[in-house]
Structure 1
């Protein structure tokens, strides 16, 4: 017999799986961008090319960090609501 799922835990598990896919995509795409940079930079090494893949890494990294916090950290609405509720009980 199948036990019913806890909806909160199921949602949290889906968020964490989604973050892992996001991280994998981030790593693969940015590795590709750095590879493109290195292939195009070395033939022109004397001209001193700027490492442009830094910009997509930083911009996308901010989104990735917020995704991490929502999946693993303190951006969870239920936990924040519980903390606020406990504060109100103490007052």
Structure 2
């Protein structure tokens, strides 16, 4: 018995699963960055790494976060592009009148 798969829903499910893996990687790697920062920041005063007072993990979190947000909208946003195009077309038709 073969089950027919809805291709639109299958692509949507794949995008969402991919986003969840991306989020998991983001959280794990950035937790590692913060751990490295905390270990290097809380060294004794005589240690050469103590000058790292600025929380540098903010920068990779910010940069990677932009990509993560974009991935979120691709996975959970309006994926029915055909319907969106139809709506915009109808708006343009109404404006012409």
Same fold (TM over 0.5): yes
Corresponding residue to 2:75 among 53, 71, 82: 71
Q: Which runs of 5+ in 1 are unaligned?
A: none
Note closer, same or farther for the CA distance 1:89–1:47 as it changes in structure 2 (3 Å cut): closer
Number of equivalent positions: 88
Report the CA distance between 1:44 and its aligned residue.
5.3
Q: Distance in 2 between matches of 1:59 and 1:2?
A: 44
From the two aligned structures, give the one with the greater helix fraction: 1
- Cα distance between partner residues in 2 of 1:88 and 1:63: 30
Cross-structure match for 2:89:
88
User: Which blocks of at least 5 consecutive residues in structure 2 are unaligned?
Assistant: none
> Which consecutive aligned stretches of 4+ in structure 1 deviate over 4 angstroms post-superposition?
44-48
> Over the residues paired in the alignment, what is the CA RMSD in angstroms?
1.9
Q: Which residue of 2 aligns with 1:49?
A: 53
Partner in structure 2 of residue 4 of structure 1: 4
Q: Which has the larger radius of gyration?
A: 2
Distance 1:24-1:87 versus aligned 2 partners, 3 A rule: same
Is the contact made by 2:40 and 2:52 (CA closer than 8 Å) also made in structure 1?
no
Task: Report Cα offsets for 1:10-48 as digits up to 9, x if no partner.
Answer: 011000000000000000000000000000001157746
Length-normalised TM-score, structure 2: 0.80
Is 2:28 aligned against 1:28? yes
* TM-score normalised according to structure 1 size: 0.85
